[in-house]
Chain A
Amino acid sequence: MSGASKSILAVDDSASMRQMVRYTLEGAGYEVVQAADGVEALDLAKTRGVDLVLTDVNMPRMDGITLVKELRGLDTYKFTPMLVLTTESGPETKQRGKQAGATGWIVKPFNPDQLLATIARVL
């Protein structure tokens, strides 16, 4: 599995989570851009294009669902795959994510191989 030339914006307020995501994605050849919350992610996404967004839900300043909604409002991110990676598995939050425009929902902890397979599928 190779993600050559594709870039992924990984958003999580936990440094250890970002590190695990980065390790997994870089190992498959993806370029990884990181942000610690929705505000930082939105700024990054506006200044540079990314091919996929992988975001947590509960974060300070701006949560992941708001981030997805904000990004979907931008022309450049209308069709970009956006996956939510969270500990939340409740149907209500999932539904909010779906309505905001998320492409899929991954419940933590993720298995590296399954995460890569999912990303390859939506890219």
Chain B
Amino acid sequence: MLPTSIEIANADAPPLADWTPEQQIAQMLELCEAQVESATCESDLAVDALVKAFSGLAETARALKASAATFTPEQRAALGDLDLKKQMEAIERQMTSAVVAFQFYDKLTQRLGHVRYSLSTLALFVCDRAQATQREQWRRLFTTLKRLYRTEEEKQIFQMMVEGASADEARDHIHQSTQTIRAGTVGDIELF
């Protein structure tokens, strides 16, 4: 749950001589940017560990498959109901799903990078009164940030919000994207 108000000034600290609402907004934006960066760094370490574990499992699965291929009919018969070929095929299917799922982390990192850049840019922008008070400069800022967004999902969310969609509507859009991931949808391929 979001707090109803955020107070970032330390009550014990002497008041800042150059205190302005813009400076406070910029500080809040930088705080958000730092939080996203910190969370991303932490996730990177966890995902690195996961990727290493995945690679180890993949190598083991391949070695098992190669060994199973050399079994004599007698050895296969000795395994009874355990159909190694079927088991290996099931592992391969799961590995394929993992390969697709891992790629969404890469996409997430990219998107968070864009959010971080947007927050930093906005922090600088609001502190510059000459720019922040001009409607045309805001339009330029939007255009700059729009260019930043590369994935289809980012572009759609940006467009929705710019055209007046609410945060709830944007959340619904994100939810639909998640459903797409669950369905295992992959990107398009085009040969020139």
B interface, size bucket:
20 to 34
Contacts of A93 in B (CB 8 A): 150
Given contacts A27-B62, A111-B96, contact A118 B151 (CB under 8 A): no
B187: nearest residue on chain A (CB-CB)?
A: A107
Most interface-central of B47, B150, B190 (chain A CB within 10 A): B190
Assess whether B100 is in contact with A111, with CB atoms less than 8 Å apart: yes
Q: Among the listed A16, A58, A94, which residue makes an inter-chain contact with B102, where contact means beta carbons less than 8 Å apart?
A: A16
Given contacts A17-B103, A20-B99, A87-B151, contact A109 B51 (CB under 8 A): no
Given contacts A87-B150, A108-B107, contact A16 B48 (CB under 8 A): yes
Residue A69 at the chain B interface, CB threshold 8 Å: no
Residue A79 at the chain B interface, CB threshold 8 Å: no
Contacts of A103 in B (CB 8 A): 191-192
Residue B13 at the chain A interface, CB threshold 8 Å: no
- In the assembled complex, the Cα of A100 lies from the Cα of B107 at a distance in Å of 24
B85-117: CB near A (< 8 Å → 1, else 0) gives 000000000011001101111110110000000
Given contacts A14-B109, A87-B151, contact A23 B99 (CB under 8 A): yes
- In the assembled complex, the Cα of A98 lies from the Cα of B96 at a distance in Å of 29
Residue B55 at the chain A interface, CB threshold 8 Å: yes
Contacts of B62 in A (CB 8 A): 27
Q: Among the listed B54, B110, B152, B191, which residue makes an inter-chain contact with A104, where contact means beta carbons less than 8 Å apart?
A: B191
Q: Among the listed B48, B58, B186, which residue makes an inter-chain contact with A110, where contact means beta carbons less than 8 Å apart?
A: B186
